[in-house]
Amino acid sequence: MKNKYILLMVMCLSGSLLFAEGGPTAADAIFTVNNTWMLISAFLVFIMHLGFATLESGLTRSKNTVNILFKNVSIVAIGILTYAACGFNLMYPGFAEGSSGIFGFAGFGISAPEGAAGLIGYADGAYTYWTDFIFQAMFAATAATIVSGAVAERIKLNSFLVFSTIYVALIYPVTGSWQWGGGWLSTMGFHDFAGSTLVHSVGGWAALVGAYILGPRLGKYSKNGKINPILGHNFPLATIGVFLLWFGWYGFNGGSVLSADPGSVSLVFVTTTLAAAAGVIGAMITSTIISKKPDLSMILNGSLAGLVGITAGADLISPMYSVLVGLIAGIIVVISVVQLDKLKIDDPVGAISVHLVCGIWGTLAVGIFSSKSVLTQAIGVFGYGVFCLVSSIIIFQIVKQVMGLRVTEEEEIIGLDISEHNEESYAGFQIFTVE
C-alpha cells in the first residue's frame, strides 16, 4: 500500500512539473518518448548482427566458424565508421524538395545542425540528430552482412573486407538517398518503408554477384550434375540466430515509423509478426512437398523471408494481407533455393533467396496490396538492380585482379579458421575432412 502511494505521488509530481510554468511541456514529453523509442530501436537493430553471426556460423561448417564470426564483427565496425565518415551525408545530402536527385553529398564527418542537436527543432520534434545518425548507422552494415553469408567458406578475408568497405561506404548510402534521402524514387512515389529493397535487395544483388564470381565450394556439385548437400554444423546456433533476427526486426521495422506513435508502431509490430509466422508455414509446406521431409533450415529461412517480404510495406499493408505476403515469401524462398542450386550458384545460407528474391517480392507486394503503383515499385526494383549489379561486378572484379578473391583448394579443405586465422572455433574437437 505504501508503494502505491509513493507511485501516485511521483506521478502527480511529474504531471505538475510537466505543465508548470517555465518547465517541460507536453511537447517535451512526447519528444523524449519518441527519441527514446528510436534509441531502443537502434539497439534492437544492433542485436540483429549477433543474429546474422550465429545464423551464418550455424548453417556452415565448424572449420570456418572463426572466419565467419570475424567477418560479422568486422562488418559492424566498418559499417558504423564509414557511415560516420561519409555514408550518412551521402544518404541524406539534402536534395531540394521536389527535385529528382540522384547523387548528393553534404560533406565528410557528422556534425549536428547549429542549434538543433538535442532540441525539438530537429526532425519535427521526433528525435535528435545524433539519434537519427545512430539508428541509420545500425542499418548500414546489414547490406554487407547479407553478402557475407552467400560467399562464406571460400572467400579471402581481406578481399571480403575491402569489398564490404567500398560497398557500405558508397553504394548503400547513394542508393538509399534515392528514396529515404528524398531523391528521384521518392519524388516518383516509390515506397519502401524499412528496406526490402533499400537494404535487403541492395545486399542481395551483391551477394548474387559474389557467389557467381567465386563459384561453388569444393564438392558442392558433381561433374554429373548431382547436387551434394553441405550441411551446417550447428542447427541450435542457427535457430538462435533466427530468433535474434526476428526479435531485432521489431526495431528494424518498428523504429522505421520514426516516432513512438502508438497506432503506427502497433500496426507495424502486428504485420511484421504475422508475415514472419506465415513465412514459416509457407516454407514448411513447400519444402515438405519438394523434399518429402520437413527441413529445419528451410523454415528458418522461411521466417526471414516473411520478415524481408513485409519490410517494404509493414506500415501500409493490412494485417490479413501481411499473412499472404509472408506466406508467399515462404513459398518463394524454398523454390529460389532449389533453383539456385540447379544453376550451380552456391549460397551456403540462402542469403540470395531470402534477401534478394523476397526483397523484390516484398517491394512489389506494396503495389499489389496497397494503393501504391505496382509500376512505380517495379521501376524502383529495376533501378536498384541495375545499379547494384553493375557496381558489384566492378568492385568484385577490381578486388579480384588486385588481391584475388578465392582461397586455395588446400586452404578451403583445411578450413578458413586455420588457414586465415590459425585459430580453432572448437579447440580440441576440430575434424578436417577432404572433400
How confident is the model over 184-203, as pLDDT tens digits? 999 999 999 999 999 999 99
Q: Which residues pair with 155 in a beta bridge?
A: 406
What does the pLDDT read at residue 285?
Answer: 97
What is the band of 114 on the pLDDT scale with cuts at 50, 70, 90?
confident
- Helices 129-140, 65-82: axis angle to 10 degrees equals 150
What does the pLDDT read at residue 175?
Answer: 96
pTM: 0.90
Q: Which residue has the cell 521518392?
A: 186
Q: How far apart are CA 354 and CA 269, in angstroms?
A: 20
Q: How far apart are CA 302 and CA 196, in angstroms?
A: 15
Say if CB 95 and CB 183 are below 8 A apart.
yes
CATH code at 26-95+119-421: 1.10.3430.10
Q: How far apart are CA 43 and CA 213, in angstroms?
A: 35
List the domain boundaries for the chain: 26-95+119-421
Is the Cα dihedral 108, 114, 119, 122 positive or negative?
negative
Grid cell for residue 298 = 528451410
Condensed to tens digits (0 to 9), the pLDDT of residues 10-59 reads 334 344 444 444 567 888 888 999 999 999 999 999 999 999 999 999 99
- For range 425-431, the mean pLDDT: 69
CA nearest 68: which of 49, 47, 82? 49
- Helices 374-403, 202-214: axis angle to 10 degrees equals 40
Count how many Cα atoms sit within 13 Å of the Cα of residue 11 in the half-sphere of its side chain.
6
- For range 161-180, the mean pLDDT: 95
Interior angle at CA 284, CA 335 and CA 352, nearest 5: 40
Query: What is the residue-wise DSSP string for 234-283?
Result: -HHHHHHHHHHHHHHHHHHHHGGGSS--HHHHHHHHHHHHHHHHHHHHHH
For residues 336, 338, 342, 345, the Cα torsion angle rounded to the nearest 10 degrees is 60
Interior angle at CA 271, CA 270 and CA 277, nearest 5: 90
Q: Which residues pair with 101 in a beta bridge?
A: none
Of the chain, the percentage scoring pLDDT greater than 70 comes to 92
CA nearest 173: which of 105, 248, 123, 107? 105
Q: What 3-state class would DSSP assign to 137? A: helix
Condensed to tens digits (0 to 9), the pLDDT of residues 118-157 reads 777 788 888 999 999 999 999 998 887 999 999 999 999 9
Q: How far apart are CA 172 and CA 82, in angstroms?
A: 11
